[in-house]
Copies of this chain bind each other. A is one copy, B any other.
């Protein structure tokens, strides 16, 4: 693995859309007892269900800590690769490399990671194990790695259409805990040079009470160039209403890098999801303090799906809108099976299906496992 000091665009590399062909997917076996209730056992079952579906069309690599390896190997089917790798938590989207391609080979980008806000408003300390994972994963996969550690970014805070356009949120990328010394223009330039996009669409904010400072991947996602789904509520008394309406306004009043207007498909939110006392009881304290309070609203959203080669895997919350969300997504992904899985046990950790996955784009140079 070579560490590259250039920018991906200097070398003809760009970030493909998630709906482009993948060679594989990376996940991290959950373990953190102040993130995942009851020793992470419920989360492990949910991860396993997800992994089995992804494995139907992609090679899956799961990183497990030494102490969790045997359990991961026991629970996961034999066709899933389990590798030993230490981590602070289990959010592959945000700590695994963002992969870029030149149409033939792939490379990784190693962003700086500071647990969603560092000493300003990060979610745990320290985060050094997580911050080392992107580079280690490039090494494991034998892919060269762009050193972007001086720029704090999580994979979940950007979405690209693979055709020159990126969406992100101001709430996250302009937060004090990320890159406070950089201007919006400088951040935009960095995104263009690293991800190979020409146009950055800045949504104002993400999902209400989302502890990532409003990652875009929980509120809005491309389904194809020129088409996005947007998490939506019609309830004007919901604090989410104004947030979603703000995103809609931005999207309706812009064009993408190719000059297209953007068609917005509203994806209803589930009824607000609150964590129960029983669920909170199952979470260890962090530094002596609880990480969740009974009744706290969780950032549930159907937008946090993963697009595998064969499926679109969508979180479900035992809500009346579960099936509606799938029905809206189906015509947007005519070549894939849109499938839901119960995701409450992932949501409790603070994110959802998209947050715990990271795709490896197609690699024409090697058997990619």
Whether B3 contacts A69 by the Cβ 8 Å rule is no
- A57-92, CB < 8 A from B: 66, 69-70, 73, 78, 81-86
* Interface segment out of the listed A108-116, A135-143, A220-228, A265-273: A135-143
Q: How far is the CA of A25 from the CA of B66 in the complex (A)?
A: 23
Total A residues in contact with B, Cβ cutoff 8 Å = 23
Taking a contact as CB atoms under 8 Å apart, the answer to whether B78 and A136 are in contact is no
Say yes or no: A73 contacts B366, CB within 8 Å.
no
Contacts of A140 in B (CB 8 A): 81, 83, 140
A81 and B142 contact, Cβ closer than 8 Å, known pairs A86-B66, A136-B69 = yes
How long is the Cα–Cα vector from A140 to B129 in the complex, in angstroms? 20
- Whether the Cβ atoms of B78 and A3 lie closer than 8 Å is yes
Known contacts A3-B78, A66-B66; is A83 also within 8 Å of B142 by CB?
Answer: no
A16 to B249, CA, bound (A): 67
Taking the closest CB of chain B, its distance from the CB of A235, in whole angstroms, is 47
For the complex, what is the distance from the CA of A81 to the CA of B135, rounded to whole Å? Answer: 11
Contact A73 B369 (CB under 8 A): no
Closest Cβ–Cβ distance, residue A175 to chain B (whole Å): 29
Which residues of A315-369 have CB atoms within 8 Å of chain B's CB atoms? 366-367, 369
Question: A69 to B3, alpha carbons, bound, how many Å?
Answer: 16
A199 within 8 A of B: no
Flag whether A56 is at the interface (Cβ < 8 A). no
Give chain B residues whose Cβ lies under 8 Å from the Cβ of A136. 69, 83-84
A261 contacts partner chain B, Cβ-Cβ < 8 Å: no
Smallest CB gap from A1: residue in B: B78
Chain B residue at minimum C-beta to C-beta distance from A140: B83
| A292 interface residue per 8 A CB criterion | no
A252–B367 Cα distance when bound, in Å, is 47
Q: How close is A215's CB to chain B, nearest CB, in angstroms? A: 27
The distance from the CB of A138 to the nearest CB of chain B, in whole angstroms, is 10
* Contacting pair A81 B1 (CB below 8 A): yes
For window 1-35 of chain A, which residues contact chain B by CB distance below 8 Å?
Answer: 1-3
Cβ of A243 within 8 Å of any chain B Cβ, yes or no, is: no
Q: Is the CB of B66 within 8 A of A139?
A: no
A132 lies within 8 A of chain B by Cβ: yes
Interface centre among A2, A3, A82 (most CB of B within 10 A): A82
Instruction: Give the distance in Å from the alpha carbon of A161 to the alpha carbon of B7 in the complex.
Output: 50
Asked if A78 and B2 sit within 8 Å, CB to CB, the answer is yes
Give A140 to B81 CA distance when docked, in angstroms: 7
A88 CB to nearest B CB, Å? 12
- Pull 17 A–B residue pairs with CB atoms less than 8 Å apart, ordered by A: A1-B78, A2-B78, A69-B136, A73-B139, A81-B139, A81-B140, A81-B142, A82-B139, A83-B136, A83-B139, A83-B140, A84-B84, A84-B86, A84-B136, A140-B140, A366-B367, A366-B369
The 9 closest A-B pairs by CB, nearest first: A367-B367, A66-B86, A366-B367, A2-B78, A84-B85, A142-B369, A84-B84, A83-B140, A82-B139
